[in-house]
Amino acid sequence: MTKPSIIFMGTPDFAVNALRALHESGLFEIALVVSQPDRPKGRGRKLEPTPVKAYAQAMGYRVEQPETVKSEEFIRLAEEIAPDFFVVVAFGQILNQRLLDVPKVCPVNIHGSLLPRYRGSAPIQRAVMNGDAVTGVTTMVMDRGMDTGDMLLTVKTPIGPEDTAATLHDRLSELGGELIVKTLPGLLDGSVVPVPQDNEAATHAAMLSKAEGEIDWSAPARIIDCRLRGMTPWPGAFTFLDGKRLRIHKTQPLEMPATDAPGTVVTGGSELVVATGEGLLRIVELQGANSKRMPAEAFLRGNPIEPGARMGS
């Protein structure tokens, strides 16, 4: 019996688990893997393969890296392969309608949120930053909109108080791999039926900017902590003290009221606690401009900060 065929499109680490799950399931023929062109990285600016390309080549799959999938050459290649499915995960290019019409069944996307919430490029980060208690992964039929296609399957996961965008990224990547292996057979046997999204409930997850990393001490302590965790590892949270930039890596909201102005350091010695617009925030790990990441206690031994000092621009 002929296996259903797939053209897989993905680029970063987030997409690798989906490709791995499809490969290890043995249920599909992966006819082609498509990834973004290799880019120079590191101090030496050497070309490095994308994570998806590296895995695909290790598994012996054919890999193509077109500058644009809208080129006539690539579209003709896809039409010649005539797969049953596209599986698209964090690919990084927009597919036009001619390409979306290529698969015999449909093009399927894996998105790191519970659609229609957090359509867009930063769904994982925004869910943490906004203090959501739960998020998940959605598989959907792709259309020409930004994450607007009909939903197929979803899976949920809680967002814990210690979760960062990095830990949630890894968990959702694993869940996405598990979900795609359920989605494609369900589409073939009719047990998975596309359901239109509720556009009235849609929210947008805009791309992060470096400027968003600056801490607004007038916000509540809980919100600052959520935003910091959502921006870990990138772009990272930072503040200023006496004109010097401090990168803040980990914080802990305290169940104590703030009586000082937001941004005021309220403890000295071996602990660093700062007043916010609502409550106190303990800085657990931080990094100076010319130092490495370290616990606050170690940082304060070499860089004492007196109570009453003010953080912020």
Cite the annotated binding site by residue number: 113-116
Binding residues for (6S)-5,6,7,8-tetrahydrofolate: 113-116
Side chain identity, residue 215: I
Q: CA 79, CA 61: separation in Å to the nearest integer?
A: 18
238, 245 Cβ separation under 8 angstroms: yes
Q: CA 29, CA 238: separation in Å to the nearest integer?
A: 47
Nearest 5°: the CA angle 291, 293, 295 is 115
277, 219 Cβ separation under 8 angstroms: yes
Burial per residue of 84-95, b for 16 or more beta-carbon CB atoms within 10 angstroms, e otherwise: bbbbbbbbebeb
Retrieve residue 209's tokens.
Answer: 């900017």
